[in-house]
Amino acid sequence: MTVLSTTGTELPVAKDVPENSTTAIRWLATHSSRAWLELVMAHPEQLLIDHAHCERKAASAAIRLMFTYPTDTELSAALSPLAREELEHHELLLGLMSRRGIALRPLDAPPYGARLRTLIRSREPERLLDTLLVAGLIEARSHERMGLLARHLEDRELADLYAALLASEARHFGLYRLLAELRFPRAAVNQRLGELAQGEAAILARLHPKPRMHS
């Protein structure tokens, strides 16, 4: 099938996803488990609903950074289009859900995001560095998991949707790292990224029992 963005642009489909696309992210300290993949593939409706919420939260996170650092005009210039793209993805998911008769409803959030935020240091400038890198890790994990879904889902419409989102997810995690490297020494970024990636892996070591993008 052809997947179109909300602006009518044709996007890639699952057959275009390389075999190694799910392992190309060097940010992550561990791969997602087979147990996670089987859990979410068995509950596609809940996955779609949760993913729609995730895209909205990702836009909110970018906008929140813009408000937290209002005098950093370069940060705002970079994050404003990212937030718009996240909302476009939210709209794509809402459209697919509507066609399938699935209503957007509240879902219990997994502990992933809240636990990642506890790793963010409270004092500046470390707080900014950690916030950028945590946001990037979330995008990197999303990219990895969407690649897995694109390759393994038997529902071709869903598989093509996740294939279509891979390029933008890759841009997003790359942007957050670039924003960090423009503000902090590369050695400091790499060291802290490694620490946070280990923390992110530890959070995912215990599978959340409900099917979520970040279970």
Q: pLDDT tens digits, residue range 145-188?
A: 999 999 999 999 999 999 999 999 999 999 999 999 999 999 99
Can you tell me which residue has the tokens 């994990």?
Answer: 141
Position 53 in a domain: yes
25: left (phi over 0), alpha (psi -120 to 50) or beta: beta
Position 193 in a domain: yes
Residues β-bridged to residue 161 = none
Position 6 in a domain: no
Range of the domain at 193: 32-204
Q: How many domains does the chain have?
A: 1
pLDDT > 50? residue 197: yes
Distance of alpha carbon 212 from alpha carbon 170, whole angstroms: 20
Question: For residue 92, what is the domain's CATH number?
Answer: 1.20.1260.10
Position 163 in a domain: yes
Position 106 in a domain: yes
pLDDT > 90? residue 51: yes
Position 15 in a domain: no
